[in-house]
């Protein structure tokens, strides 16, 4: 019997509240179009391509918010096992360590426990996507000129959540029977980010050697 995403993941464990699109808006319609493509079983490589006649910024905005919601759900499921004791450093195995930097408290790259890093990361993204000057929700309000650059940074940092989950907590996903859903989410994220050149290929190397990713995702 197939298991749905809602059955596998407990929505009450979402790491942050979901950001939703207002019904009747262009972005809501794009979101529905994207979800319909995914639900129809269409090839993910085709599903991520910018639809003819649609605005690139709108398409990217819809996906960035959707990935934020999905990755929140995935990390929220394992966050009780991701502690300062189990994950004293935010890393992707012994080769990659991710240090936090922002424009406020951490002005220099700082090593942090994974849960602290995740909290700061999700707070930081939430501020971005709820900022009307960056992610406008009203028709006629333009995106900032550096919108794609902002989204590239968000995508890069969200990717690190995948790296940490795959390398340090994937056994938990297997125990839950959730690995297929995590793989599909990452595959969608991977194809979208590479299709629109939103992530540096060097970043992707952090997972390309992972056996699960090699077998299920990037083949």
Q: Residue ranges for the binding site for Zn(2+)?
A: 82, 87, 164, 169
Helix, strand, coil shares of the chain, percent, nearest 5, are: 60, 0, 40
**Where is the binding site, in residues?**
82, 87, 164, 169
Q: Which helix (H) or strand (E) holds 121?
A: helix 114-129
Give the Cα separation of 209 and 219 in Å (integer): 12
Give the Cα separation of 213 and 162 in Å (integer): 11
Q: Is residue 145 left, alpha or beta, with left meaning phi > 0 and alpha meaning psi from -120 to 50?
A: alpha
Q: What are the beta bridge partners of residue 97?
A: 91
């Amino acid at each position: 019997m197939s298991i749905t995403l809602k059955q596998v993941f407990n929505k009450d464990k979402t790491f942050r509240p979901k950001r939703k699109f207002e019904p009747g808006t262009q972005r809501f319609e794009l979101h529905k179009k994207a979800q319909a493509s995914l639900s129809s079983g269409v090839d993910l490589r085709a599903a991520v391509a910018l639809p003819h006649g649609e605005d690139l910024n709108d398409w990217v905005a819809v996906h960035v918010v959707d990935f934020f919601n999905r990755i929140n759900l995935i990390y929220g499921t394992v966050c009780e096992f991701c502690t300062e004791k189990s994950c004293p450093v935010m890393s992707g195995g012994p080769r990659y360590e991710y240090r936090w930097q922002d424009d406020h408290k951490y002005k220099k790259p700082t090593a942090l426990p994974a849960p602290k890093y995740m909290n700061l990361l999700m707070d930081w993204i939430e501020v971005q996507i709820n900022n009307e000057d960056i992610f406008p929700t009203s028709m006629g309000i333009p995106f900032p000129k550096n919108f794609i650059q902002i989204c590239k940074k968000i995508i890069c940092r969200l990717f690190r959540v995948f790296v940490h989950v795959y390398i340090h907590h994937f056994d938990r996903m297997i125990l839950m029977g959730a690995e297929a859903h995590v793989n599909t989410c990452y595959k969608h994220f991977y194809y979208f980010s590479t299709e629109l050149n939103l992530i540096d290929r060097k970043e992707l190397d952090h997972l390309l050697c992972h056996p699960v990713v090699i077998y299920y995702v990037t083949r």
